[in-house]
Amino acid sequence: MKILLLLGLVAVALCETTRFVGDKVIRLTPANDEQVTIIKELGQKVKVDFWKPDSPDLVTIGMGVDIHVPAAQLDMVFTILQQSSMEAKVMFENLQEAVEDQMDNKRVTKAHDYTKYNSWATINDWAISITSANSNLISRQVIGNTYEGRPMHLLTIGKKTGSAKPAVFMDCGFHAREWITHAFCQWFVNEAVSTYGSDPEMTNLLDRMDFLVLPVFNIDGYEYTWSKDRMWRKTRSKNSGTTCIGTDPNRNFDAGWCTTGASSNPCSETYCGSSPESEVESKNLANFIRTNKSIIKAYLTVHSYSQLLLFPYSYKYGLAADHSELLSVSQGAIAALRTLYGTKYTSGPGATTIYPAAGGSDDWAYDLGVKYSYTFELRDEGRYGFLLPESQIKPTCEETMLAVKYIASYVLNNLY
């Protein structure tokens, strides 16, 4: 009987959703090397979750550092911070409230809604239904399954001409907790097909090129953020020799793999994996792009948060061969984005604009020969961070559409 009771308690614990009652998110601004060292030691000695940057190793003087501190660690962390005289600002007083407040679109609607965050089951059904409802403009294929066996739907959007067209590849949801990114890929697909024939720019784009859209890359991780832990980031694969789960998929590509800004520790949030493309999701994406390299002229990967438009390189400080053109296009794209709501983005090479990070999909695609390779970091700059309210889905997606269309139109007029 005792064994059965114990097993029951274990089962309940495994099913229980992680709650964040009393947890805080704090923004630290280190003013000197000593304070940088203190933050790095915090990351090693105390169980805190780095929101920005992804890892304590990436912290530098003057950088805004956002860390999620569990309630149980608050006294220790605040004591350390007071002793260091470091500037600290509380961004979230109670993280659990912010998790609940994120779902601020209270409208009761049909299963799928472009202005709400949708579960994987809902997105899966949507991918199938929007394809069948727009068979003249969308086709769907599965480029492989995830570690846990979920299908990775790829939607091809464009007028069917019977011959190969140049294409823009776009993915969302590399990191599970970045929910606004998944919302954007869905919004983009709908906007593309619903404005075809009425918006001259979109009509021209879809007539002359295709968009290859992977609405959710890290499906297993995304599902886990709904069922268990809203703050989960990595994939859900098992790692040998440890109970720590998952790999950072954006450190898992063969672009300076695991050399800088990535960790070889499976328990780290920036774990690079056991080898390049060790994650089946990374392998599926890379295989598809390698196979279709002749038509893919741009690669866009959508992340959050920070309001940035980045391009290679992140794994090294050296400038890309096409640096001046990539910079010019990025500046045009963020200028277009800003026209709608005045949202300010910064653009530049990843390593110098934020921090060095090896193994990213954008650097990998660029080195493969996809010249126009960009990473979006969507809203915001930290007020809500990964918990951007549903009320901001529409404006975020509307402005981001302008940047994506700008890049796509440029690519179409500058094919190589």
Residues with Cβ within 8 Å of residue 320, at least 6 apart in sequence: 311, 312, 313, 326, 349, 366
Cα–Cα dist 280/143, whole Å: 11
Rounded to 5 degrees, what angle do the CA atoms 168, 171, 174 make? 155
304, 52 in Cβ contact below 8 A?
no
The pairing of beta strand 151-157 with beta strand 210-214: antiparallel
* H helices, E strands: number in the chain: 13, 12
Is 377 an active-site residue? yes
For every residue of 62-100, which 3-state class applies, written as one string? CCCEEEEECHHHHHHHHHHHHHHCCEEEEEECCHHHHHH
- Coil, strand or helix: which one is 1? coil
Q: Are 303 and 324 in contact (CB under 8 A)?
A: no
Q: How far apart are CA 204 and CA 58, in angstroms?
A: 42
Reading the block at residue 204, the tokens are 């021209």
| Residue pair 282/259 in contact by the 8 Å Cβ criterion | no
| Identified catalytic residue from 178, 269, 279, 377 | 377
Q: In Å, how far are 125, 198, 211, 396 from 401, measured between CA atoms?
A: 23, 16, 13, 9
- CA 63 to chain CA centroid, nearest Å: 21
Enzyme catalytic residues: 377
